[in-house]
Amino acid sequence: MDDDDDEYLGQRHLDILNHPVTDVLAMLSAMLQRIIETNDGLRRSRHHHSSHAPAAAQAPAPEQHDHDDSGSSQSVSSILSFHGRNIPAITLQAYLMRILKYCPATNEVFLSLIVYFDRIAKHAAPPATQRLQGPTADPYTIVPHSDVFVMDSYNVHRLVIAGVTVASKFFSDVFYKNSRYAKVGGLPLEELNHLELQFLLLCDFRLAITLEELQSYADLLLQFWDEQHQMHLYRPDASGQPPPGAF
């Protein structure tokens, strides 16, 4: 079965080499926005329940573990490095477009972010992670029902700029100094240097991505985009009727 047959059956493939980067960033920002909105809601829900829970329930006795959890502690420490005190005013799409404008990069660099974020979720909390996978109840939630790795509005911008910094150096022959990435990302240089190292630790220094793996994530991103477009087309208006041209 060739690519034409796949498309006929509804499975489209994203042309990583030739697809406009601006379109990829629109799709990527939409997916990341879905993820952080989901996790922001989960965080608010957990906070609400914990604030109304009995004191004994809020402070359970520490469990004893026979295994070495130093790796887990390192992951938690690295993740906390990305948490900001405030939510940045700039939208994710505008942030990604700013990065593209002042630190141009290829689709491989930006698509690698969702691969790395998925790997971080696995590495940080394997038992509790809901991976980015095919159609399920909520198939596009990289992050989990756990506090170990939760991508939300407070850390996603830092994760993005650190990921772009790392991926640009790995995938591109031409990249920029950290001082430029820091300025474009709105961070002090020292902070970006620290976040770059923490990002590498979270990825377990596994940066190589096969073409097949990258293509699978790119196709999943395109699938997400198509489904969002269909939802918009067929979403009824206030009268309960679908918008004109939906059928």
Q: Where are the domains of the chain?
A: 18-43+70-227
Q: What is the pLDDT of residue 75?
A: 59
Q: DSSP of 97-155, one letter per residue?
A: HHHHHHS---HHHHHHHHHHHHHHHHHH-GGG---S-SSSSSTT--S-SSSSS---TTT
The pLDDT tens digits along the chain (247 residues) read 455 555 544 578 999 999 999 999 999 999 999 999 988 887 666 655 555 555 444 434 434 444 445 555 555 666 777 888 889 999 999 999 999 999 999 999 999 999 999 998 887 654 444 445 443 444 444 444 345 678 899 999 999 999 999 999 999 888 999 999 999 999 999 999 999 999 999 998 999 999 999 999 999 999 999 888 776 654 544 444 444 443 2
Is the distance from CB of 220 to CB of 27 less than 8 angstroms?
A: no
Where b means 16+ CB within 10 Å and e means fewer, 127-148 reads eebbebeeeeeeebbbbbeeeb
Q: What are phi and psi of 123, to 5 degrees?
A: -70, -35
- Which residues 6+ apart lie within 8 Å of 116 measured at CB? 163, 166, 167, 199, 203, 207
As its CATH architecture, domain 18-43+70-227 has Orthogonal Bundle (1.10)
Cα separation, 237 vs 242, in Å, equals 6
At residue 232, the pLDDT reads: 61
The structure's pTM equals 0.74
pLDDT at position 2 is: 53
Q: What is the pLDDT of residue 98?
A: 98
User: What pLDDT does residue 46 have?
Assistant: 62
**Per-residue pLDDT, 54:** 53
Residue 97 CB partners (closer than 8 Å, separation 6+):
22, 25
- Count the neighbouring beta carbons within 10 Å of the beta carbon of residue 194: 16
